[in-house]
Amino acid sequence: MVKTLMTKLEKIIEYAKALPAAQQDHLADDLVALMRTRNKAIRLSADEIADVQKALLEKKPVFASEAEILAALGERFS
C-alpha cells in the first residue's frame, strides 16, 4: 500500500468538506476574498512610502499591536 502525504491545502479541504454547507459557503467566500487581495499589486501612496522609509530608518522600530493587526485584517483572520 502506497501512502501519500497530504499537503496543508488538502488537509484544509478535507476539514472544510466535513463542515455544514453554510459554513462551507462562508469559508469559500473568505478564501475567494483572500485570493483577490493576494493577486492585486499593492500600491502605496507617496505619504505611505514616506512613512515606510521613515520607519526603516528607526533604530528601535515600533510594531503594530495585536489589536491593531486584528483591526486591519478583521476578526475572522485571527
Contact criterion met (CB below 8 Å) for 53 and 44 = no
Which grid coordinates are listed for 77?
483572520
| Average pLDDT score over residue span 18-37 | 85
Tell me the angle at which helices 21-39 and 8-17 cross, rounded to the nearest 10 degrees: 150
Phi then psi dihedrals of residue 44, to 5 deg: -95, 145
Cite the beta strand spans of the chain per DSSP E. Answer: none
Q: What is the mean pLDDT of residues 37-64?
A: 78
In terms of Cα–Cα distance, which of 38, 30, 33, 37 is closest to 12? 30
pLDDT in tens, 34-45: 877 776 666 778
CA distance 10 to 8: 5
Band (pLDDT 50/70/90 cuts) for residue 69 is: confident
Residue 19: pLDDT over 50: yes
Tell me, what's the pLDDT at 78? 45
